[in-house]
Structures are given as C-alpha cells and as structure tokens.
Amino acid sequence: MAKALPVSPLAQPLPELPPLAGVRFGATEAGIRYTGRTDLVMAEFAPGTTVAGVYTKSKCPGAPVDWCRAAMADGRARALVVNAGNANVFTGRAGFEATQANAADAARLVNCAATEVFLASTGVIGEVLPYQKISAALPGLYATLSADGWADAARGIMTTDTFPKAATRTAKIGETTVRIQGIAKGSGMVAPDMATMLSFVATDAKLPASVLQSFLTEGVNRSFNCITVDSDTSTSDMVLLFATGQAGNAEITDPASPTLAHFRAALDSLLLELALLVIRDGEGVTKVMHVVVTGATSDESAHKVAMAVANSPLVKTAVAGEDANWGRVVMAVGKCGEPANRDTLSVGIGGTWIAEGGTVVPDYDETPVVAHMRGKEIEITIDLGLANGTAQAWGCDLTHGYIDINGSYRS
C-alpha cells in the first residue's frame, strides 16, 4: 500500500450528506492499484434521470472520457462507475475494450442500456486497466448500494487527495424544494479546461438535459475553470451532473426562466465550493491564493491575467516563503500577453495597495502585508486600469511537498 500522505493543513470536514431521492452510492476495494482502501465506486440513478457533462480539453483524453462523451447523446443516465488508481489513458484498444466491458457489466446489474452507464477513471497514465477486477467486484458492490453511501463514494474516488470532498445545497424551483449534492476529487494535475479532477453532482430536480448542460457549462466556467494547482490539465477530468426528477417540480425547458434562478445560484455555489476544496488539497499545499483582477479590457482578458498570476511558479514560491514580493505579480501580469499598461497598473496584497499608477505607493508600509503573508488565505488584487473587465482565480503555493508527492507518484 502506498504511504499515506499527511492531511492538508487546509482540509475541511465532510458535511452531513443526506439521502437524495433517486440516487444510491457505494464503494468497495477492487485491488486495482491500492490495497487496504476502497478504489471502486458505483451509483445507480432512478429511471428517467437526465445528465450533463463537461470534460477535459486535453488532446490525449482517457478512454472513459471518450465513452461518456458518446453516451451523452440521449441525455439519459442510470449508473456511474468510477475507479481510482488507474486512469485508463494511453492504453489503445485495451482501454476501449475496458470501457465496453465495464459499461456492459453495470448495465446488466441495473437493467439498462450500456449507453446509460457513465464511466470515470483516475490514477496512473499508460497502464492497462485490469478491468476484470472491476467486473468481479461490481456485483457485490451493487448489492451494497445505499442512499447513505455518499461519504463512502467521496473517499473511494481519492488518489493523492488527503481528504474527501463534498458539498450540499437546497434550492427552490417554484414552490418545490430540491436538493443538489456533489463529491469531487483532485489534488494535483489541476488547471483549467477542467481542472486530475473528477466531480459528480446530483439533484432530485426534474430538468431536461439541455437545461442541465447550460447550467453546468456556465457554472464550471466560474468555478472549476478558475482554479489551478500546477497549470497541468489532466487527461481524465470531468464533471457530471445528474437530475433524477424525484422532487416532483414542474419541468422547465427554458434555462433563462426566472423560476430556475434560485436553483442556478445554488448550483453555482456548490460547484465553487467543490472547486475550492480541490485547491485546499493541492499537493504540498500550505496556503491558498485568491487573485482578483479588475480594470481589464474584457472579462476574458481579466481571466487570463488572473490565471497567469495564480500559475506563476515565482508567485507561488513567494507565497510559500511568505515573501511579500509584489514585483513577481507585476512580472506575471506583464508576461501573459494580455493588454496591460505599466503606468495604469495597481497591485495590492491583503487589502493593502502597494503600487498604483505604475509606481510604489508613497510611504508604503510593508508591515500589514508581511503579516498577511503569514496567514493561510492570501489575497492578491490587480487593477489594470484599462476598462471594466473583471475576473477571479484561485491557486495555491508551491512547496517541496509537491515535488515529494509527484517524484514518487508511481511507487
């Protein structure tokens, strides 16, 4: 068994995860790579469940990503199977055959079409997935599925994660109260275009797949696509959103309907919480960075600037070393290729403006900034002074712990 990693100093406890109508989860030990821990998760969804998905933009995606993209064609889902320890990536025909076999295995248990089974894998790239171990474990796992299995599932999808991640919300659609609940895993190889990161969210609301897709795509752009641990985009990233329809609300087909505004806000809030939990478990993390950019020529440009700062190794190591080296922020802004003007640029840390209009603030006192850098939550504010574009991003520091974890990842 791989040596257990110390729990992140920024870890958050699992919230209470009540049953969600139409969803049953479970986890078991299949021995895919790990010993002495669960590594296989399954969920069953009520008939009629709709589904939406957002996937990695990697040009070398895993076989499960290809499978899910194709399975989304009819917008229906009955089951989910996730394994940890082996990503089933860069495995050629063997990877395809593994997805075919395990989708068929789950479909027989649930009594549905194989295309209603969604698959995800996370772990080492380039090793053939021993899918026969999954096939052997699925019947026993299916027999244990429970409405109370959310916490077990959150633990079962972990790889280098040091704590399980989940969030829950309630919302109103008209007069009907609905629940939204989700789990996530991610610690390293995390950057936008999905950020290795998996998340599975379910709601008991009745919503068509088209509405789910609209909400999920936009919500991910404001959450998972605004975080970075190390600037690397995984081959296996995905976020899936399932709607079981068990809450009994009247179905609404227009995503712009005001009746869905509360649901949409709750979903956005949940996705952002899950994304920030991933950052709080970044490999070797000791601090979280929140980068806010204003005054850009567009929101898109502001996003690129924010991500350039959050991804900068020099900014990240300065944060790790508690060094209030704001010049590294200026460097990151200047190199990213987005419109910027030295003479209108302002930089602040921890609520203290350090530079304004291209020069250091007169009588700048570094004392409060130094004190802020000793904390766990680091705020970096950048005003480009050009127009009205805004964005925010979240990242973490870069420590020797990141090297230790990734230098021995396969051992």
28-38: pLDDT as tens digits: 999 999 889 99
Does 16 reside within a domain? no
Per DSSP, the three-state class of 320 is: helix
Q: Which of 225, 247, 280 is the last residue of a domain?
A: 280
365-384: pLDDT as tens digits: 999 999 999 999 999 999 99
In angstroms, what is the C-alpha Rg of the chain?
22
The answer for residues whose C-beta is within 8 angstroms of residue 307's C-beta and 6 or more apart is 192, 226, 228, 393
Q: Is there a single domain that holds both residue 328 and residue 271? A: no
Q: Which residue has the higher pLDDT, 108 or 2?
A: 108
Residue from 28, 49, 91, 196 carrying the catalytic annotation: 196
Instruction: Give the pLDDT of residue 182.
Output: 98
Does 15 reside within a domain? no
Q: Which residue has the higher pLDDT, 309 or 188?
A: 309
53-87: pLDDT as tens digits: 999 877 888 899 999 999 999 999 999 999 999 98
190-222: pLDDT as tens digits: 454 444 589 999 999 999 999 999 999 999 999
* 185 appears as a binding residue in the annotation: yes
103-155: pLDDT as tens digits: 999 999 999 999 999 999 988 889 999 999 999 999 999 999 999 999 999 99
Q: Which of 231, 246, 280 is the last residue of a domain?
A: 280
Strand-strand pairing, 377-383 and 288-296: parallel
Question: 259 catalytic, yes or no?
Answer: no
SS (H, E, C) 339-371: CCCHHHCEEEECCEEEEECCEECCCCCCHHHHH
Q: Is there a single domain that holds both residue 246 and residue 377? A: no
Residue 303 identity (one-letter amino acid):
H
Indicate the pLDDT class of residue 407, thresholds 50, 70 and 90: low
Does 8 reside within a domain? no
Instruction: Give the pLDDT of residue 194.
Output: 45
Instruction: Give the pLDDT of residue 235.
Output: 66
314-330: pLDDT as tens digits: 999 999 999 999 999 99
Does 355 reside within a domain? yes
* 406 appears as a binding residue in the annotation: yes
Range of the domain at 89: 23-280
Q: Is there a single domain that holds both residue 93 and residue 190? A: yes
Does 194 reside within a domain? yes
Nearest to 159 by CA among 86, 235, 63: 86
Does 213 reside within a domain? yes
Instruction: Give the pLDDT of residue 6.
Output: 85
Q: Is there a single domain that holds both residue 27 and residue 63? A: yes
pTM beyond 0.75: yes
Nearest to 83 by CA among 66, 63, 69: 63
Does 101 reside within a domain? yes
* 49 appears as a binding residue in the annotation: no
Residue 351 identity (one-letter amino acid):
G
CATH of the domain at 30: 3.60.70.12
Q: Is there a single domain that holds both residue 249 and residue 380? A: no
CATH of the domain at 312: 3.10.20.340
| Contact call for residues 145 and 27 (beta carbons, < 8 A) | no
Q: Is there a single domain that holds both residue 246 and residue 333? A: no
Rounded Cα distance between 324 and 347, Å, is 12
328-351: pLDDT as tens digits: 999 999 999 999 999 999 999 999
Q: Is the pLDDT of residue 391 over 80?
A: yes
* 283 appears as a binding residue in the annotation: yes
Nearest to 402 by CA among 269, 308, 305, 287: 287
Does 139 reside within a domain? yes
Q: Is there a single domain that holds both residue 249 and residue 345? A: no
Q: Is there a single domain that holds both residue 261 and residue 299? A: no
Q: Is the pLDDT of residue 8 over 70?
A: yes
Q: Which of 257, 280, 303 is the last residue of a domain?
A: 280
H or E element that contains 241: strand 238-243
Domain count, the chain: 2
Q: Which residue has the higher pLDDT, 168 or 35?
A: 168
Instruction: Give the pLDDT of residue 113.
Output: 98
Q: Is there a single domain that holds both residue 158 and residue 257? A: yes
* 133 appears as a binding residue in the annotation: no
Q: Is there a single domain that holds both residue 319 and residue 399? A: yes
251-292: pLDDT as tens digits: 999 999 999 999 999 999 999 999 999 989 977 789 999 999
Q: Is there a single domain that holds both residue 394 and residue 330? A: yes
Q: Is there a single domain that holds both residue 301 and residue 275? A: no
Strand-strand pairing, 197-203 and 176-186: antiparallel
